[in-house]
Amino acid sequence: MSKEEEKKEIMEETIIDKEAIPVPALVIKEVLKAANKFSVGSRDKRKNERRPSRRSERARQEFDNKIISVRRVTRVVSGGRRFSFSIATVVGDRKGKVGVGTGKAGDTPIAIDKAMRAAKKAMVKISLTSNNSIAHPVEAKYSSARVSIIPAPGKGVIAGSAVRVVLELAGIKEVSSKILSRSKNKLNIAKATIKALGELKVARLNDKVGQAKIEKK
């Protein structure tokens, strides 16, 4: 028997009893109250009531991170082979701070944690202009990777590979970059990008004045 049928049956019994024998109004009120408990609307209302969550809201992390390389490293020992994972990650706050780090461990989560800690230790502060761009072109070489970055007003971020990851996590906008070497090693490319950004001179409050002073030098 459904809830609606039970409610209807209770109501019919109440009406019959009311016609046959005088029933106090308080008793009728209690019976109707009991019948209303089977109401679908009230049940849905109780079900849909939002209970306060006991979980505390997670605080937003200070730094964003992105993994750029995952490698499985094999080491041959007398007893056989031992495998471990090497992780390269980029960490930045999107406000001018960025770093690259590596970590190696037998488990991937541990390797990621090591890489993040190493990247935070190696973070550098980049001098940005008022529109979150760079004041002048820069170029740097790290190992076999060579990267060039130039300002590109109104064109967004034109970059690829690990260069784009570094620029986005550093919060740099309106720049164009080019990988001048044939190297495909993302770790070397990321470190070359950070080395190039580290060569930026202090940006002036007025970007045009700062650019003119840099050109005179």
Q: Which two tokens mark 126?
A: 């980049």
- State the average pLDDT over residues 182-210: 78
Give the pLDDT confidence of 73-119 residue by residue, as tens digits: 898 988 889 999 999 999 999 888 999 999 999 999 999 999 999 99
Contact by Cβ (8 Å): 149, 187: no
**Where in the chain are the domains?**
3-47, 64-216
- Counting residues of the chain whose pLDDT is more than 90, the rounded percentage is 43
Q: Is the pLDDT of residue 212 over 80?
A: no
Residues contacting residue 145 through CB under 8 Å, at least 6 positions apart:
179, 181, 183, 185, 188, 189, 191, 192
Q: Which two tokens mark 27?
A: 């008793």
**Euclidean distance between CA atoms 48 and 39, whole angstroms:** 14
Nearest 10 degrees: CA dihedral of 111, 116, 121, 125?
150
Burial 74-110 (b: 16+ CB within 10 A, else e): eeeeeeeeeebbbbbbbbbbeebbbbbbbbebeeeee
Give the pLDDT confidence of 50-61 residue by residue, as tens digits: 555 555 445 567
In a 3-state reduction of DSSP, which class is residue 215? helix
Contact by Cβ (8 Å): 150, 124: no
Contact by Cβ (8 Å): 195, 170: no
pTM of the complete model: 0.64
Nearest 10 degrees: CA dihedral of 163, 209, 124, 152?
-10
Domain spanning 64-216 has what CATH number?
Answer: 3.30.160.20
Residue 204: pLDDT band (50, 70, 90) is very low
Give the pLDDT confidence of 121-169 residue by residue, as tens digits: 999 998 888 888 898 999 999 999 999 999 999 888 999 889 999 999 9
